[in-house]
Structure 1
Amino acid sequence: MKIEKVTKNYGQKQVVKEVSGQIKEGKLTAFIGPNGAGKSTLLSMMSRLLAKDQGEIIIGNQEVSLWNQTELAKKISILKQANAVQLKITVRELVSFGRFPYSKGRLTREDEVKISEAIEYLNLGELSDLEIDTLSGGQLQRVYIAMVLAQDTDYIFLDEPLNNLDMNHAVSLMQTMQRLVQEEGKTIVIVLHDINFAASYADEIIAMKAGEIFKAGPTEDVITKEVLDELYEMNIKICELEGKRFCLYFNG
């Protein structure tokens, strides 16, 4: 996936400024950066949820705006920050929505298999027959992620998916994303606020600041004191444990 001089304006404010870059296939790429950096806006334009004002986003050798909607939904799935389904349905029924681009509402045996696999991936088997309005915020977040996985797309975009998840489930989700990349060859792009999750699980990092790409590359090239201090305008200490870098951040 290539991004060429993509721009988005809200009135007089330019929230994404001629951003160019490349999303590597078969890798887990994390978008990091301070609030207002343009991370979620760029992700929304990449998935065509939001129209760009200028530039090009190329996926499968074709500009994203030229894709047929149904075919694009078989290529890209996205989990937005805010999800609200006001229906009296079960966990399994919500996960089954991910199969709509294929089934158009008439589920086949293959659809049922994909739904079951997604439920299994997120360890939701015991909850599958419960109605979604009985779930906690963290449980519901995992169900939405299962719905995205059931869509079985080459590209998976997740906008702050760790919201509402406790540490155990956040770690489990990131491990699941790693498995999907390593075992299924998926290309995953994830917006993260916690830089330690990015440092631990991402193959590539795109750091954004003030609507522009501040630094992009392999994780070890971005998770450095020099880059992060300037990116977040903080004093960040980088430590290493068992070959992984992690960050201690504090002002001072």
Structure 2
Amino acid sequence: MVKVRGVSKQYGGKKVIDNVSLEIEKGKITSFIGPNGAGKSTLMSMISRLIAKDGGEILIEDQEIGKWKSGELAKKISILKQSNHINIRLTVKDLVDFGRFPYSQGRLTKEDEAYVEEAIRYMELEPMRNKYLDELSGGQKQRAFIAMVIAQNTEYVLLDEPLNNLDMRHSVQIMKVLRRLVDELGKTVVLVIHDINFASCYSDNIVALKDGVVIKQGTTEEIMNPAVLREVYDMDIPIHEIGGNRIGVYFT
């Protein structure tokens, strides 16, 4: 389990995360929702140790995140950020190979190759495995980066707006893949996501943030509530029941 206790972060004297506490349940999909500037990506970056917190504690399996060795943490947590810039020319296969670096240090074994091939298959990238990233559409490139994270085979998978640049079909594909990672492989997935409809359909738990604080956290059914969403987004969002899911008719 990941436990966040009283965590804060500020830039230029302004608090972007203010005394946030929450727990991320193992074997579930937890989504961070909220308007722009709510602190979702900053919180995600602190949980993955990409940026330092100013105060509080983040515990991964009851060990403070600062005490984890980098190599061991990379086998426990993988993260995909919003912006991924690579300055060398790589094929899809080359990129997905990087997901195995914490284990192989660049010398892939048969086991590493098996994880790479499975990730490429999961993301339906076989036809473009030998294409260079600069030859791909934005959506194809996003799928390749997600395949790299899948190949890393960590217990915790953190994704910051993984549906960026994706059309509806590929967005649904990726959310179904993440659901399978949880349901079939027991992974724990944490998302920063703007589309509350996808959050409501595929998440087990939701954390709603606004202005650097947690407005409410709980099960998807508890958060997909007109009163909660009004407080988070400062607008009325109708809720409909579709196939057992509570859907908010709102896209950001």
TM-score by length of 2: 0.98
Q: Aligned-residue CA RMSD in angstroms?
A: 0.9
Give the deviation of 1:245 after TM superposition: 1.4
Runs of at least 4 residues of structure 1 off by over 4 A? Answer: none
Aligned to 1:61: 62
1:225 maps to amino acid: P
Quote the Cα distance in structure 2 between the aligned partners of 1:100 and 1:248.
Answer: 41
CA contact (8 A) 1:160 1:192 kept: yes
CA contact (8 A) 2:119 2:151 kept: yes
Aligned to 2:222: 221
Aligned to 1:183: 184
Give the deviation of 1:248 after TM superposition: 2.0
Aligned to 1:161: 162
Give the deviation of 1:155 after TM superposition: 0.3
Report the number of matched residues. 250
Q: Residues 185-227 of structure 1, C-alpha deviation per residue, up to 9 Å, x if partnerless?
A: 0000000000000000000000001101101000000001111
CA contact (8 A) 1:33 1:232 kept: yes
CA contact (8 A) 1:7 1:14 kept: yes
Quote the Cα distance in structure 1 between the aligned partners of 2:19 and 2:12.
Answer: 16
TM-score by length of 1: 0.98
- Cα–Cα, structure 1 residues 75 and 249, in superposed 2: closer, same or farther, change >3 Å? closer
Quote the Cα distance in structure 1 between the aligned partners of 2:192 and 2:156.
Answer: 14
Q: Residues 47-71 of structure 1, C-alpha deviation per residue, up to 9 Å, x if partnerless?
A: 0000000000000221011100000
Quote the Cα distance in structure 2 between the aligned partners of 1:211 and 1:104.
Answer: 37
CA contact (8 A) 1:160 1:191 kept: yes
Q: Residues 28-82 of structure 1, C-alpha deviation per residue, up to 9 Å, x if partnerless?
A: 0000001111100000000000000000000022101110000000000000000
Q: Residues 133-190 of structure 1, C-alpha deviation per residue, up to 9 Å, x if partnerless?
A: 1000100000000001110000000000000000000000000000000000000000
Aligned to 1:128: 129
1:180 maps to amino acid: L
Q: Residues 75-120 of structure 1, C-alpha deviation per residue, up to 9 Å, x if partnerless?
A: 0000000001122221001100010000001111000000001001
Quote the Cα distance in structure 2 between the aligned partners of 1:109 and 1:73.
Answer: 20
Aligned to 2:196: 195
CA contact (8 A) 2:5 2:21 kept: yes
2:175 maps to amino acid: M
Structure 1: gaps of 5 or more residues: none
Give the deviation of 1:241 after TM superposition: 1.4
Aligned to 2:249: 248
Q: How does 1:110-149 map to 2 (within 5 A)?
A: 110-149=111-150
**Percentage of identical aligned residues:** 56
Aligned to 2:4: 3
Quote the Cα distance in structure 2 between the aligned partners of 1:22 and 1:214.
Answer: 14
Quote the Cα distance in structure 2 between the aligned partners of 1:27 and 1:249.
Answer: 24
2:72 maps to amino acid: E
Q: How does 1:65-80 map to 2 (within 5 A)?
A: 65-80=66-81
- Report the secondary structure of 1:230's partner residue: helix
CA contact (8 A) 1:234 1:249 kept: no
